[in-house]
Structure 1
Amino acid sequence: MDSFKAMQAFTAVVRGRSYAAAADSLGVSRAVVTKYVMQLEDHLGARLLNRTTRRVSTTEVGEEYFSFCTRVLAEIRDAEAAIGLRQREAEGMLKIMAPKSFGSLYLGKVVADFSRLHPNIGVSLLLTDLSLRSVDLVEQGFDLGIRLTAQADSSLVSRRLCAIRWMLCAAPAYLKARGAPTEPGGLKDHECLLHYRSLTVPTAATWTFLRDGRAYPVRLKGSIVVNSVMALRQAALEGAGLALLPTYCVGADLRSGALVRVMGDCEVAEEQVSVIFPHRNLLPMKSRLMIDFLAETFRMPPWA
């Protein structure tokens, strides 16, 4: 039995005082209305309506149940209207998950600028280096996530924001003391600062460079291994060695000369900055507005 439709049919009969009037108001046949009311009475084990050839009236139980149905159906209508309005209007709390380093550098300004444009939308931003999976977003109640790597979870929808380039960098003091490598193989003679994401074993990593359409993987050991590109950048600025760093955190350093690009004719495969969300259909307006705002903000990346 469809309880919702049965309650609708029952209340329509009471209001119209006939099955025919109820059928007309609901846009169904009289037989359908009769079936729903009979199913409802069988389900409840009580007669709700007294029927004669001339009129339909409620029993004592039917009168009580009519009041109950009226309240329930009104609450359903109100809830549906509120949800529909919330989908169309820009309001509510927006929960976003993003990587620590990238979020610390760029998303604070994004959130502030977005809030000025949409004061009725609150933003809760969680910065974490945990992987973003559908279970993270859905079970923890997040609306959006920011990813800096390839999308591994096919259950999530992804929209590309911009590209990230990685560059081999070092401080001028380090290069003056140790010289600059010109070939990927020459890195083995240098101090290399490693990120956990590139490790193949606890203290060794593989960096892959592209030159003239050919890939050059280099297996390296490092005395410094960290899980933050910002800490890696700081170590490079201190002259501790060569570091493979994303342009979003070293663009200003390269322009000022605090860091110098090494092996400029070698490239590293680009990665994408993407905004991810659990589904595309019936996306709340607050999410749509933030996705579009992020796309516009990073259309021309501030570190480019």
Structure 2
Amino acid sequence: MDRLHSMKVFAKVVEQGSFVRAAEIMSLSNAVVTRYIVDLENHLGTRLLNRSTRRLSLTESGQAFLERVRHILPEIEEAEAIVAMETKKPAGTLSLYSHVGFGQGQLGKLLPEYSQAYPDVVLDISLSERTMDLVEEGMDIGFFSSLQKFDASMVVRKIGVAEVVLCASPSYIAKHGAPETPDDLTQHACLNFSHEHLRHYWHVKTDEGIRDIPITSKLVSNSAILLRDFTLAGMGITMRPSFSLGDDLRCGKLQRVLADYQMGQVAVMMAYPSRRLLSAKVRSFVDFIMDKFPQPESDPWL
């Protein structure tokens, strides 16, 4: 039994004082209207209407039930209208997660344009070095790197592949020179992300294959922001994905070193919990991002 529809039929029968008129207004047969009322009474375990050939009257239970129904139905109709509006027009709060490197390097440039296009959407943005569970944290969309682990049940869209690059500030290069071969890195101060397997060695692809180059870490941090700041300050050479430092490289604040050698790649993915019944705000944002990154196999940040 559709309990909600049964309540609507009951209210309409009482309003019209007739099964026949209620059936006509709701485009139902008399038999169907009668069935709804009978099923509702059976469900509630009480008679709601006294029926005769000439008139209908509410029982005491029917009167009490009608008073509740008259409050409930408008609330439900209003809720349905609000949801229907949200599915058509992007509105409400859109919660986004990103790891710091991508968020700091890219979202600041992208989100103002989205906000201008969809002014009724409020952006709630969380940048974190830790991987968030989108469902558990109640997030709509997340940006992850291929170095992170996340729920395999997510809908995942690859938006780009970033080159891992070595770079330093012009002031550092002027003072210490630029390494000419991977082995020269052993003589330089290195600024390192706090992955244990990177703390003492950097992996470089050479003609001889992948080599582990011993390094001296002058600074180790789990913060992409600090690593960028210290690199800009001339403290050493850092190894970061291009999406976190692309603007600094383009404007000359940082310079690539050992650009002829490959350090690896990091894919960037956009993920969200479900592809079914997406709200307008989520759908509009997914479409916006995919339009900005039409070639996911390329590096759009260099």
- Equivalent in 158, 161, 167 of residue 160 of structure 1: 158
Partner Cα separation in structure 2 for residue 108 and residue 242 of structure 1: 25
Count of aligned positions: 296
Q: Which residue of 2 aligns with 1:288?
A: 283
- Distance, in Å, in 1 between the alignment partners of 2:253 and 2:38 is 82
Please list every run of at least 4 consecutive aligned residues from structure 1 whose deviation after the TM superposition is greater than 6 angstroms: none
Conserved 8 A contact 1:194-1:205: no
Rate the CA distance shift 1:65–1:211 in 2: closer, same or farther, 3 A. same
Q: CA RMSD in A?
A: 3.5
SS of the equivalent of 1:192 reads: strand
For the 8 Å contact 2:162–2:300, the answer to whether it is kept is: no
For residues 131-210 of structure 1, the aligned pairs below 5 Å read 131-138=131-138, 142-150=139-147, 152-171=150-169, 174=172, 177=176, 180=179, 182-183=181-182, 187-196=185-194, 198-200=195-197, 204-210=199-205
Q: TM-score, normalised by structure 1?
A: 0.78
Q: Compared with structure 1, are the counterparts of its residues 224 and 41 closer, same or farther at alpha carbon in structure 2 (3 Å cutoff)?
A: same
Q: What is the CA-CA distance between 1:86 and the residue it aligns to?
A: 1.3
Secondary structure in 2 matching 1:130: coil
Against the structure 1 CA distance between its residues 20 and 253, is the aligned structure 2 distance closer, same or farther, given a 3 Å change threshold? closer
Q: Percent identity?
A: 32
2:105 is the alignment partner of 1:108: no
How far does residue 23 in structure 1 lie from its aligned partner after superposition? 9.6
1:215 aligns with 2:210: yes
Task: Show structure 1 runs of 5+ residues with no match.
Answer: none
1:145-190 per-residue CA deviation (whole Å, 9 max, x = no partner) reads 222335631122222222221112234565564662524x554454
CA distance 1:209–1:104, shift in 2 (3 Å): same
Structure 1 CA distance, aligned partners of 2:101 and 2:300? Answer: 15
Rounded to whole Å, the distance in 1 between the matches of 2:190 and 2:247 is: 21
Query: Deviation of residue 214 (structure 1)?
Result: 3.9
Q: 1:18-38 CA distances to partner (integer Å, 9 max, x unpaired)?
A: 3796499464783x6555534
Q: Can you list the C-alpha shifts for 1:50-83, whole angstroms capped at 9, x where unaligned?
A: 1235554322432342343233223222211221
> In the TM superposition, what are the counterparts of 1:1-304 in structure 2 within 5 Å?
2-14=2-14, 15=16, 17-18=18-19, 22=23, 25=26, 27=28, 30=31, 34=34, 36-53=36-53, 55-138=55-138, 142-150=139-147, 152-171=150-169, 174=172, 177=176, 180=179, 182-183=181-182, 187-196=185-194, 198-200=195-197, 204-211=199-206, 214-218=209-213, 220=215, 222-255=217-250, 259-299=254-294, 303-304=301-302
2:157 alignment partner, SS class: strand
Could you tell me how far 1:271 is from its partner in structure 2?
Answer: 1.6
CA distance in 2, matches of 1:220, 1:136: 39
Q: Which amino acid aligns with 2:221?
A: V
When residues 41 and 172 of structure 1 are mapped into structure 2, their CA distance, relative to the original with a 3 A threshold, is closer
